[in-house]
């Protein structure tokens, strides 16, 4: 079965801003209160999507969410018309209001965990939206994420959609950011590697002491069960608690895998040897490449600053494997020289392409955070909502849409402007037509 891996990037929403909401995420905290540029952010994201499509990759678009989330503010006791809810929430509980205004759904690596049909017992592609319980602003995402995924992958013959896991820290789940699929060919059964930060039901296991572990093993195991994965090809590995305390809040900040390559930092995992043995046990004899980056070449601090592991490892149509990296990797001497050498060494990676996604990077979201990977057979591709593919036509339409609706400057104080909610709803309503999504937002159902 010929399969390719598609990337579905999150479109940056109209309220993109820097609110310092993510403890444990260095960039988010250090850019708190900075002025953002939602228009530039969305255009940077679209440019990356279009470049990948131009490279011959299957590239999709996932719609952003409605913010501020008036419904959750009403649940918290703010009343009156929408403008009053915003005004009162901003006045009485500014932190809650800012959290309700985040455009964080752009980081679709956290939208869901996806298992391709080659790995699942019923041969369907399985999706479980991430509950993102660890951060309040992100915990507002899963219901709408589920609606959007169902509107994009809307063919029951091929796609199975699960509800997100119970909304509790015991089942904290951050989706594909902590999940990597390794295989020789996308259409063959692969190994699904789940990386977790802590055991929720066993206090005697190691865990970080300074920053939260967002993903539990219990959540990863539940997703593996829901997706009907084969035990012999499912690996659970613990992230090194020390690196979480150093700012590695998701595994995709310290490791990335694609097909027969796992590219990771020496300090990424608690037990690297065991992980390697378990991965190899699930694959056949063909060569597999563990590319371990020594701390002497790239420190964990440089990895966190440059996001060298929050890169996309992709196979181009000619089968060359290349890295899609943020510009920040070019600007960091240790990282840049490591990457230069890597493409000369004896491994499948031949080239690095650098992209400007700075608006997202300043909130701790690199190229890999912005995309959800979905390996699809030709038949399954036919079941995907056609309007959601990136091509010349959709690119032109989406660029025009951003230019028409987005602001080029947002500071925290601007978020309480009722006009911003009206602008955002108008924009999203039009977007659902461009992407042929139907009514995925609550304001459209009212
Ligand atoms: O969850 N930042 C996101 C970044 C997510 C990155 N995703 C992956 N690594 N896959 C987060 O911490 C910051 C929002 C703010 O501070 O305004 C934020 O939510």
227 labelled catalytic: no
Q: Are strands 349-355 and 321-326 parallel, antiparallel or unpaired?
A: parallel
How far away, in angstroms, is 439 Cα from ligand 1 center? 26
Average pLDDT over all residues of the chain: 97
How far away, in angstroms, is 345 Cα from ligand 1 center? 33
Structure tokens that stand for 76 in this block: 């918290």
3-state SS, residue 354: strand
Distance, in Å, from the CA atom of 148 to the CA atom of 152, rounded to the nearest integer, reads 6
How far away, in angstroms, is 215 Cα from ligand 1 center? 14
> What average pLDDT does this structure show over 399-415?
97
174 labelled catalytic: yes
Predicted pLDDT of residue 96: 98
Q: How far is CA 10 from the centre of its chain?
A: 8
Atom of ligand 1 nearest to the CA of 20: 16
How far away, in angstroms, is 20 Cα from ligand 1 center? 9
Residue written as token pair 């080659």: 118
> What average pLDDT does this structure show over 36-63?
98
How far away, in angstroms, is 383 Cα from ligand 1 center? 30
Give the pTM.
Answer: 0.98
The pLDDT-based confidence of 445 (bands split at 50, 70, 90) is confident
Distance, in Å, from the CA atom of 254 to the CA atom of 369, rounded to the nearest integer, reads 12
Distance, in Å, from the CA atom of 112 to the CA atom of 179, rounded to the nearest integer, reads 10
Ligand 1 in reach of 312 Cβ (< 6 A): no
Distance, in Å, from the CA atom of 143 to the CA atom of 170, rounded to the nearest integer, reads 19
Atom of ligand 1 nearest to the CA of 19: 17
Residue whose CB lies within 8 A of the most ligand 1 atoms, among 62, 180, 309, 363, for a mutation test = 363
Residue whose CB lies within 8 A of the most ligand 1 atoms, among 35, 107, 136, 180, for a mutation test = 107
Q: Report whether 370 contacts 376 (CB < 8 A).
A: no
Atom of ligand 1 nearest to the CA of 102: 17
What phi and psi, each to the nearest 5 degrees, are found at residue 29? -70, -40
Task: Kindly name the residue from 192, 369, 380, 405 that is annotated as catalytic.
Answer: 369
369 labelled catalytic: yes
Predicted pLDDT of residue 424: 97
- What pLDDT digit, counting tens, does each position of 94-137 carry? 999 999 999 999 999 999 999 999 999 999 999 999 999 999 99
Predicted pLDDT of residue 402: 98
Q: 288-324 burial by CB neighbour count: b if 16+ within 10 A, else e?
A: bebbbbeeeebbbebbbbbbbbbbbbbbeeeeebbbb
Q: Are strands 3-10 and 371-377 parallel, antiparallel or unpaired?
A: antiparallel
> How many Å from the N-terminal Cα to the C-terminal Cα in the chain?
44
- What pLDDT digit, counting tens, does each position of 134-186 carry? 999 999 999 999 999 999 999 999 999 999 999 999 999 999 999 999 999 99
Alpha helices in 174-296 (DSSP H): 217-226, 241-245, 272-281
Residue whose CB lies within 8 A of the most ligand 1 atoms, among 17, 365, 370, 414, for a mutation test = 365
1 pLDDT higher than 70 = no
Atom of ligand 1 nearest to the CA of 310: 9
- What pLDDT digit, counting tens, does each position of 214-256 carry? 999 999 999 999 999 999 999 999 999 999 999 999 999 999 9
Task: Kindly name the residue from 16, 250, 265, 405 that is annotated as catalytic.
Answer: 250
How far away, in angstroms, is 22 Cα from ligand 1 center? 6
Atom of ligand 1 nearest to the CA of 253: 9
446 pLDDT higher than 80 = no
73 pLDDT higher than 70 = yes
Predicted pLDDT of residue 110: 98
Distance, in Å, from the CA atom of 173 to the CA atom of 165, rounded to the nearest integer, reads 7
Predicted pLDDT of residue 338: 98
Q: 255-264 burial by CB neighbour count: b if 16+ within 10 A, else e?
A: bbbbbbbbbb
Distance, in Å, from the CA atom of 429 to the CA atom of 344, rounded to the nearest integer, reads 48
Number of Cβ atoms within 10 Å of the Cβ of 337: 12
Structural domains present in the chain:
3-67+102-444 (3.75.10.20)
Ligand 1 in reach of 102 Cβ (< 6 A): yes
Atom of ligand 1 nearest to the CA of 21: 16
- What pLDDT digit, counting tens, does each position of 423-439 carry? 999 999 999 999 999 99
Q: Report the run of H or E that residue 152 belongs to, with start and end.
A: helix 142-152
3-state SS, residue 348: coil
How far away, in angstroms, is 294 Cα from ligand 1 center? 26
CA triple 281-283-285, angle to 5 deg:
95
CA triple 214-142-441, angle to 5 deg:
150
> What average pLDDT does this structure show over 392-415?
97
Give helix 418-434 / helix 392-405 axis angle, nearest 10°: 170
Predicted pLDDT of residue 17: 98
Ligand 1 in reach of 250 Cβ (< 6 A): yes
2 pLDDT higher than 90 = no
How far away, in angstroms, is 96 Cα from ligand 1 center? 16
What phi and psi, each to the nearest 5 degrees, are found at residue 223? -65, -40
Distance, in Å, from the CA atom of 98 to the CA atom of 93, rounded to the nearest integer, reads 9
Q: Report whether 254 contacts 268 (CB < 8 A).
A: yes
Instruction: Enumerate residues 6+ apart whose C-beta is below 8 A from 38.
Output: 12, 13, 14, 15, 16, 17, 103, 359, 406, 407, 408, 410
Q: Report the run of H or E that residue 238 belongs to, with start and end.
A: strand 234-238
Q: Report whether 218 contacts 251 (CB < 8 A).
A: no
- What pLDDT digit, counting tens, does each position of 323-357 carry? 999 999 999 999 999 999 999 999 999 999 999 99
Distance, in Å, from the CA atom of 194 to the CA atom of 215, rounded to the nearest integer, reads 10
Ligand 1 in reach of 21 Cβ (< 6 A): yes
Question: Nearest Cα to 366, choosing from 426, 407, 307, 324?
Answer: 307
Ligand 1 in reach of 128 Cβ (< 6 A): no
Give helix 38-54 / helix 392-405 axis angle, nearest 10°: 180
């Amino acid at each position: 079965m010929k399969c390719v891996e598609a990337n579905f990037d999150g479109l940056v929403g109209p309220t993109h801003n820097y609110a310092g909401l993510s403890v444990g995420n260095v960039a988010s905290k250090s850019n708190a209160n900075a002025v953002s540029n939602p228009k530039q952010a969305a255009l940077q994201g679209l440019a990356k999507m279009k470049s990948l499509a131009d490279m011959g990759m299957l590239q999709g678009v996932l719609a952003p969410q409605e913010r501020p989330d008036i419904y959750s503010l009403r649940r918290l006791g703010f009343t009156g018309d929408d403008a009053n809810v915003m005004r009162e929430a901003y006045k009485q509980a500014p932190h809650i209001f800012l959290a309700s205004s985040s455009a964080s759904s752009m980081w679709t690596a956290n939208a869901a965990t996806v298992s391709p049909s080659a790995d699942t017992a019923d041969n369907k592609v399985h999706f479980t939206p991430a509950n993102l319980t660890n951060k309040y602003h992100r915990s507002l995402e899963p219901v709408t994420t589920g609606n959007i995924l169902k509107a994009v992958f809307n063919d029951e013959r091929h796609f199975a959609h699960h509800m997100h896991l119970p909304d509790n820290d015991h089942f904290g789940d951050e989706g594909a950011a902590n999940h990597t699929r390794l295989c020789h060919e996308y259409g063959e059964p692969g190994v699904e590697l789940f990386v977790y930060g802590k055991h929720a039901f066993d206090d005697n296991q190691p865990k970080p002491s300074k920053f939260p572990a967002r993903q539990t093993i219990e959540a990863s195991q539940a997703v593996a069960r829901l997706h009907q994965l084969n035990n012999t090809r499912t690996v659970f590995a613990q992230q090194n608690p020390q690196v979480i305390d150093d700012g590695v809040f998701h595994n995709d900040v310290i490791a990335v895998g694609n097909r027969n390559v796992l590219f990771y930092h020496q300090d990424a995992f608690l037990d690297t040897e065991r992980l390697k043995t378990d991965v190899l046990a699930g694959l056949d004899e063909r060569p597999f490449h563990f590319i371990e980056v020594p701390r002497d070449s790239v420190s964990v601090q440089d990895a966190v600053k440059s996001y060298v592991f929050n890169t996309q490892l992709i196979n181009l149509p000619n089968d060359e494997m290349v890295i899609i990296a943020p510009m920040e990797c070019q600007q960091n001497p240790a990282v840049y020289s490591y990457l230069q050498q890597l493409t000369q060494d004896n491994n499948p990676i031949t080239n690095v392409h650098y992209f400007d996604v700075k608006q997202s990077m300043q909130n701790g979201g690199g190229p890999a955070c912005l995309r959800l990977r979905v390996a699809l057979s030709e038949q399954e591709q036919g079941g995907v909502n056609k309007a959601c593919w990136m091509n010349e036509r959709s690119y032109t339409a989406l660029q025009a849409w951003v230019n028409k609706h987005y602001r080029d400057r947002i500071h925290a104080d601007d978020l309480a402007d009722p006009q911003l909610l009206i602008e955002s709803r108008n924009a999203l309503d039009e977007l659902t037509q461009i992407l042929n999504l139907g009514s995925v937002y609550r304001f459209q159902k009212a």
